[in-house]
Structure formats: structure tokens, C-alpha cells
Structure 1
Amino acid sequence: MKQKHRNLDVIHHGLVLISDGKGRGRPSRLLLTKDQISIQIPSDAVIDEVSVAPEDTSTRHIVIKKRKDGGGLGLSIRGGDHNSNFPIVISKIFPDMPADETKQLFVGDAIVEVNGIAVDGKSHDEVVEMLKSEDDEVTLGVRHFTQITPYLKPASSLQPGRSGSALDKLYEPNTWKSAMKAHSDLGLYEKKSSTAHHSSMGTLDRDDGKWKTISTIPLPMAYLTRYLWGTDNLRQHAFELRAVDGTSSGVIHCEDSRALELWLMKIHQHINHLNQKSIKMSNKYLHQSEQITYIGWVNEHLTEEASVDPKQRWEPRFLILKGGDICLFETPPLNSDDLGKCLNLYKCYDVAVKQVPDDMRRLDKRDNCLWVETALGEEVKHYLAFESPQMMERFEAAYYRCVHTTINAMQTRTFACSFEGRPSGLVFDIKQGISLYDIPTKSYAWQYRFRDLHSSSDDGKVLVQLVFNDDRSLDPKKLETKDMECEEVLTVVYNLQAFLLAKIVAVDPEFLKQNPLQ
């Protein structure tokens, strides 16, 4: 007798709908363990595929060509009642009919236009008449109606004794819950207490005879996103998980926002935990000056020139802080050789990391964004977005530590400049502060502590101005202004910021939580 394989560390599990993002999906079960997610489908195949709208929130225009012998479009619609808040929705598509032959229409699509005329406010009968146009073809404008459950077409076997479409209950608010209850009544997933869904399932069978595992997604360095691929459009109650080898979970549709948040929280926690273990393992073989302090996925906004598809403006990047380096990769490095194959590498003190405020300065609708500005000018900077505020906070904390450690190890940097027409060296020293070394006399012209710095400015080209608080100054405000000309203005400015940041982290690291870099 074949012994069942038991998974003893299932932490979270639940019923979801998994689709390919192109309109076909099926009910499934997810099992989350410490290091992977297993995707299961009913082993007795009592659940057929269901129709879900494509992963696109914009209006799609589909042309249906009528047959010369008549016969209609081959679709049914529901909705349009004046007393209903629901749109006109395609409730059925008949096989081998014109609508079906387009391969672009799906049960649950909301019809917003017929031949360029909006249907908003029109009754069901009026829309039917519009669809009966005498023209040889009809152009429909359709859109995914995100408030309607993606559970649009359960198999008829789930509703014994009933005939006709399952969309008879499409407009009921508990459609998804009713469908899950139908699964439960048929024994398609185990009975559990109200708290069992959120606690450890130590004795849960991975393959219990009713469910069959069809795929597993390893969590180490996995990529988790709620966004439609390459865009700033959020999926409604859905997410996608991709393994480090590119294996995808498909689009996972959750029951509601609470279920979604719970899945995201638990998956993020385990990915982060596993990433920390990877960091510790890697650091055993790296020199102290090359220690890794952060790894994780981020998304980079592409310029029109860099984007192959104008609609795909975001690209995943794997971000690593290693020693004093900020490294961006296309894919996670899996060995020491891969660490040298990054797309971009910058010293943490030669860049400025700035949060993007939640206002018109954002490039699009994505949240949790920051700029990484380099000393190479405005043409070389990176606009990055994290999937959650917590992920951005973890990166910022690691970045602050990275700068603090690197600057303290470096201690001092000197930049060639000209002060009052004399060749000089502008010196930043973590202990001594800011000073100017006069080369002809081989002596220091002036020196200030970092806390004496009142303000700084530059023209982005050659001029740098530093203003210091100075009780000895003849200025009524007791401010002393120092103007210098430097060839590497941005490098000077970013290094000054790095030294100031290192001093802040050493004295009051909590200050940066209330005053993020902008």
C-alpha cells in the first residue's frame, strides 16, 4: 500500500483561483511551508476550468463578424436593470459562434461600448437591440469588471440539481463564499476551525487523495508582485509569485482583501527570512569589507528609449548591498562568479538615495518609490519601486548601515578644488569634519565640524557653496560662506551627504525614520 506523504510544516493554506492572466483559470489550493509554496488542484478533476477576464484593466475593442446565414453573435448578457448598480456583463459564450471565434471575449467581461456608443445608463433591452445591429460586424468595447468575483463559472457539478449557467448568482455579494461552501460540501478541502486557516497545519496531507500537487515554487530569492507585468496597474485581490529560476505560480486570485493581505504578509516574511539565511551563508566566504547587508527584488522604471514595449515600463531588478557597493542585477547571482555580472554598480557614497514623495513628483501610480541619483549626471539615475512600505524600510535601514560602515572604514576623502583662485583640497574626515587644505602653503586654510554646516548648494557643474555657523564671523547672522570650484561637483555633494549620514546614524539612527532622505 502506497504511504501518503505528509508535510509537517504547513504554515498557511487556503482555496484560491489561479489563472494564466489570459482568461482561463481553475480553483486551486495553496500550501505555504517555510521554504516553498505548493499549488494543488482537485485530483478527481470535478472542477473544470473557469473563465476570468484577461489581466488588463483598460477597455478592449473586439470586432465580432456576423455570419451571412444569420444566427446571432453567440453570447448572452445580464445586467442593465435601472435598479441595479451592475454593468452589462457577458454571462455566456456559445461554442463555435462568432463571439467564441474571436478568442478575445470572456464570461464576465463588462460591455461598455457597442459600435462606439457607450451603454452606461441603458437598459438590458436597449443593449440587446444595439447588439442586433444590421451591420456585418459589431465592435464591442469591453473591460474587466474588478468588483465581480473572478469565480465566474464554477462547474455545474458543484451545484447539484440545477441546470443553466452558474451566473444566475453573479450579482449576489457572496458568490465567492458560496462557491467555497460548495467545495466544502463536496469534501474538496478539509474541514477546519475558524482559526485553523491562520495557524500551523502540522498534520495536513500534501497529497491527500482529493488534492494533487502540480507545482512548487521555492521561496528563496522569489519575486512577489501584485502589479500587472511591467505596468503600474494593481491586480484586484491577486498576486503572482516567481521563483528564482523564473517558474511562475500564475495569477493567484484571493477571496477578498483580507485574504490577500494575509498571503502577502506571510509570503514576504518567509522570503525575507530565507534571504537573510542566504546572506549569512554567503558572508562566511566573503572578506569583512565585502560583506552583504541586503538582498531583494525591486522594480526599475524604464525610459522610452530603454523599453522595448511602450506599455511595459517596469522591469524587475535584484538589488544587493555588498561592502560599500550598490549592485543591480537582472537575476539573482547564484555563485561568487555571478556577483561580478551586475547591470549597474555604484559606491554607496557616490550616489544620493532619495524618497519620492506621494505627490505629482511620482512618475506613475506605483507607491514606495525612490531615486538613486549617480555622480554621472541626470542621464544616469534609477527610479526604483518596492512592492511594500516594509520592503522599502528594510532597504533604507540596510543602506544607512552600509554607508555608516563604509565611511567609518574609509575615514577620509579629499577632492581637488580651487578656493579663492588657489589650488586646494576639500577634505571630509569622519572625525575632524570639513576642512580646506591649501596646496601652495601646505597648510589648512579653514576647518569646521560637521555640525557647524548650516547649508550647502551647487550649480551641478563646477561651483560648490558651503555655509557654516561661525561665532567668529563678522556677518550679523554669524554665517561664513565658502565658495569653491570643483571638477566633480556631484561626487563632492554626494560624498558630503554620505559623511553627514554616517554621523547621524552614529549619533541618532532613529532621526532618519522621522526624516527620510528627500
Structure 2
Amino acid sequence: MKLSDTMATPIEEKLDQNLKVRTGMVHVSDVRTGMVHVSDGKSRPEPLRLNLTMELLSLQKLEVVTPSSCHPNGPPMESKERMVQITRQKQGGLGLSIKGGAEHKLPILISRIYKDQAADITGQLFVGDAIIKVNGEYITACPHDDAVNILRNAGDIVVLTVKHYRAATPFLQKQLPLMMAYVTRYIYGTDKLRQNAFEVRGLNGISTGVIHCDELAILSQWLKLITDNVVGLTHLQMKLYNRNFAVGERIEYMGWVNEGVINNNISWQSYKPRFLLLKGTEVMLFETPPLNVAGISKALVVYKVYQTMFRIVKESETVDSRQHCFLLQSSGHEPRYLSVETRQELLRIENSWNAAIVTSVIKLGRKTFAVSHHGKSGGLTLDWQAGFSLTEGAESATVWQYKFSQLRGSSDDGKSKLKLHFQDHDSRAIETKELECQVLQSLLFCMHAFLTAKVASVDPAFLSSIQQT
């Protein structure tokens, strides 16, 4: 069978015959499969079969089957041992990688042969060959690391005794766990979309390479299938983490975003992947996802949700070609410009943010800020139940008090002065209260959080769902 460079197939659904009998029922998991082209972003793409299960994405090379067992481009018959002499190169060594070993109950298998390097030049070694001897010495019982050392120290002229194992193909295919994986269509670090292509990166740093699809419809289908699996697995992991936390401390959201970073030596921003987590009263950013509960305490950035503004960036306001962007700005810190892959994911974050706001404000209950009112020192309190109140003097006597629903507007000078416009219940007249606060931004952000939480809590179903999460 000859593989065409333009060969591509629609996505097929198969049944994994991993049958589990439970109370008379048979569980069969779905496997999606189809042909794609994969490259490292620089070299010419090669055709591979993409296999997708709920938890795993794998890319498999197709073996070329021909009438002749001695076809120059294909591996030899399995039954024969061969001796192959390799001349080690100064750059690249033997030019091959191995997998397997005694600890895996597998032979030492050639997993990769590097183009134009020593092993490739022989024309007699293939991916899937098991190395039986090195310079006449058996290595079939060696652990992987011992085999690596034997090959490394075998001298400049190395004689390998090998035998091809077709059954090793599944072990040698590239496999990537989808738990908290990162899926993107963008060229890494930029705002440039790939043409009909995407990449998946796993928790362990393994990348699929750039996966190319011939048709936009097939690309969209693969992206949806893979993303849905990643989101589903990440949600399950979130539930497992939440078993360790009280209601007000639970995780509302976790997933990948990209942060725009301004570099001093260039006029445009680059992007770095960050793992975003909304937990209890805090929003966190990680360089890599937390692998356990203890890892959650090791965030790169931590802000209080009730002191942070979340704003979706309008399409007309984006700074470059990245879409689906939003801003996070916490009091006393520079705003962070972030983006996600899809509109759907952006809305998921927005909904989770509103949920986190309600959770954090209910837990906080009340917050008091030092203010000045008509030249007198006082405290402006935001209270989840009571609303706004101003107290003055050593005895903290209440000067005035309004419910959140009575606020009709506000204005400030961007420095310290704030005007709050309330409507009197009886007269319906607007009453303006003038205050000064040295941490004005913090007060405004917290006020916005309380008001957002109050609006969200008007919907009883929404509030109930937040408290039960």
C-alpha cells in the first residue's frame, strides 16, 4: 500500500473491545480514529493515524506492507536476526533512541531513528527492531538505563544484533495523556493561528507536534472531540481535589489560558501558557498544573477574587490577532491580559468567575475601609446583608446606611475622592455622599464584587448551585 502525501480520512468511531461485565451490562468505550499529517513545525508533515480515547491521544505510524519482504523502505521479516554495523558519529552518536527494558518486561526496542545520522545511514535498522546483542554481548535482560550506558560506551564501531518485532508498534507510538492537557491552534508564543492545524501538549511536556488536517470541518471535529475530553477529565480532577476542601474553599474552575507578556527588547507581546484556577476567595495562575492538593499552594500568582476585576475584552479592543481575551486586574498590580482558544471557554471562565465572586463575598461577609467624610475620619463598611454604612468616632456611631439596591451610581477622580449616589426610599430623592479613601482602587474593586454578587444572587437557582458546588 502506498501512502499518498495528501492522504486524509474522516474521523471514524470504533468500539474498544475492553469489555467490563457489571451487573449483566457490558461497558464498551469509544475510540475515534482518522488519518492526519504531523510535523515538528519545520519539516515536511508525515501521515499518521490519530487514535483518541477518553483519556489518551496517540499517533501511530503506518507500516508499509509490500509483496516483497526485502522491500528497501520496509522492515524485514520478524523471524530473522540481523547483524548491523554502525560507525558512531561525533555529532549525534549512534543516531537512535530506545524504549523498553527489563523493568517494563519488554526487549530494548529502537523507538526512533534520526534522519541522516549513523543508524539511518546503514539503511538496515528500523523502528520496532529489538536490540538483542551489542558487540556480541546479550542485553535482553538489561534495564533501560543500563542498555543506554552499554550503547553509549560501546566504542566507535558498534555491531548490533537485532530482530524486528511488529507487535511492538503500539508500545512505540506517541501517546499523550489528556488529563489537564493544553490544546492550541496558535503558533507557540505568538498570536498567529496555524492554517488547518493544532497542537496538544501533555502534563509531562510531551507534544504531539503540529497536527495538520486537510479540511476545516475535520479540524473542527478533532478539536471539539479532544477539547471535550480534556474538559471532562479536568472537571473530574477538580471534583477529586474538592473532596479535600470545605464548601467556601472549593475550586470553581481550572484550565489553560495564555498570558500576553511585554518584552523590553521588542514592541509586541509574546504569549506564555498559564494554568488558571479559581478556588474559594482566590484566583491563581500556575506555570504548570498542580499535580496534587499540595501543589495548589505553589501558585505563581495569587489574587483575592473580591479585590480583582474581570473584564472580557471587546473584539475592537484586542491588542493583536488573538481572540477571546480578558483582563484580570487586582488592586495594586498591573493588569494581566489573557486569552483562551474558544468563545465557549471564555464564557465558562466568566460564569465560574461570577460563581467565585458570590462564594468569596458570602464568605467574606463584610469589609471596612478607612475613609474621610467631611474632614472626619471614619469607616465605610460593605456588608453582604446590610449594604453600605458609614461610621465615625471612637464608638463607631453610624452616620448613614443604605442597601445595595439603593445605589444609583458613583464617580471618582481616579486618586482618592469618591461620590456615591443613593436614592432615598421615602422621598425617592437622590442623595450624594462624598468620601476620600487612600486605597480607592481597592475600595472600588471590592464594591464591584459585592454588587456583582448581589445581582447574581437575585437568581435563587444560581445561588443554590453555587452553595452546592
TM-score (norm 1): 0.62
Q: 1:369 aligns to what?
A: 325
1:499 partnered with 2:450: yes
Shift of 1:212: 8.0
Runs of 4+ in 1 over 4 A off after TM superposition: 5-8, 207-213, 308-312
Q: 1:153 aligns to what?
A: none
Matching residue's letter, 2:251: I
1:375-403 Cα offsets, whole Å, 9 max, x none, are: 015xx110110111111111111111111
Q: 2:22 aligns to what?
A: none
Q: 1:339 aligns to what?
A: 296
Structure showing greater relative contact order (alpha-carbon pairs closer than 8 Å, 6 or more residues apart): 1
Shift of 1:309: 7.2
Q: 1:242 to 1:371 in 2, by over 3 A?
A: same
Shift of 1:451: 1.1
1:42-68 Cα offsets, whole Å, 9 max, x none, are: 02388x99xxxxxxxxxxxxxxxxxxx
- Of residues 171, 175, 181, the one that matches 1:216 is 175
Q: 1:242 aligns to what?
A: 201
- Of residues 393, 407, 411, the one that matches 1:439 is 393
Q: 1:45 to 1:447 in 2, by over 3 A?
A: farther
Unaligned 5+ runs, structure 2:
1-15, 19-27, 67-71, 74-165, 463-469
Please state whether the residue corresponding to 1:228 is helix, strand or coil. coil
- Of residues 421, 426, 430, the one that matches 1:479 is 430
Q: 1:260 aligns to what?
A: 219
Shift of 1:440: 4.8
Matching residue's letter, 1:297: W
Q: 2:159 aligns to what?
A: none
Q: Distance in 1 between matches of 2:221 and 2:443?
A: 45
Matching residue's letter, 1:284: R
Residues 90-239 of structure 1 mapped to structure 2, 5 A cutoff: 214-239=173-198
Matching residue's letter, 1:344: V
Judge conservation of contact 2:417–2:437 (CA < 8 Å) in 1. Answer: yes
Q: 1:39 aligns to what?
A: 59
Please state whether the residue corresponding to 2:320 is helix, strand or coil. coil
Q: 1:267 to 1:310 in 2, by over 3 A?
A: farther
Q: Give percent identity, aligned residues only.
A: 37
1:329-354 Cα offsets, whole Å, 9 max, x none, are: 01111123322221110010000001
Q: 1:40 to 1:509 in 2, by over 3 A?
A: farther
Q: Tell me how large the CA RMSD over aligned residues is.
A: 2.7
1:11 partnered with 2:11: no
Please state whether the residue corresponding to 1:335 is helix, strand or coil. coil
Q: Distance in 2 between matches of 1:208 and 1:509?
A: 58
Judge conservation of contact 1:41–1:212 (CA < 8 Å) in 2. Answer: no
Figure out how many residues of one structure are paired with residues of the other and give that number: 342
Q: Distance in 2 between matches of 1:272 and 1:509?
A: 27
- Of residues 291, 302, 316, the one that matches 2:250 is 291
Matching residue's letter, 1:16: V
Judge conservation of contact 2:331–2:445 (CA < 8 Å) in 1. Answer: yes
Matching residue's letter, 2:263: E
1:423 partnered with 2:377: yes
TM-score (norm 2): 0.68
Name whichever structure is richer in strand by fraction: 2
Q: 2:47 aligns to what?
A: 27
Shift of 1:289: 3.5
1:393 partnered with 2:350: no
Q: 1:423 to 1:368 in 2, by over 3 A?
A: same
Q: 1:452 to 1:235 in 2, by over 3 A?
A: same
Please state whether the residue corresponding to 1:491 is helix, strand or coil. helix
Q: Distance in 1 between matches of 2:266 and 2:258?
A: 16
Please state whether the residue corresponding to 1:42 is helix, strand or coil. coil
Shift of 1:470: 2.3
Shift of 1:208: 9.0
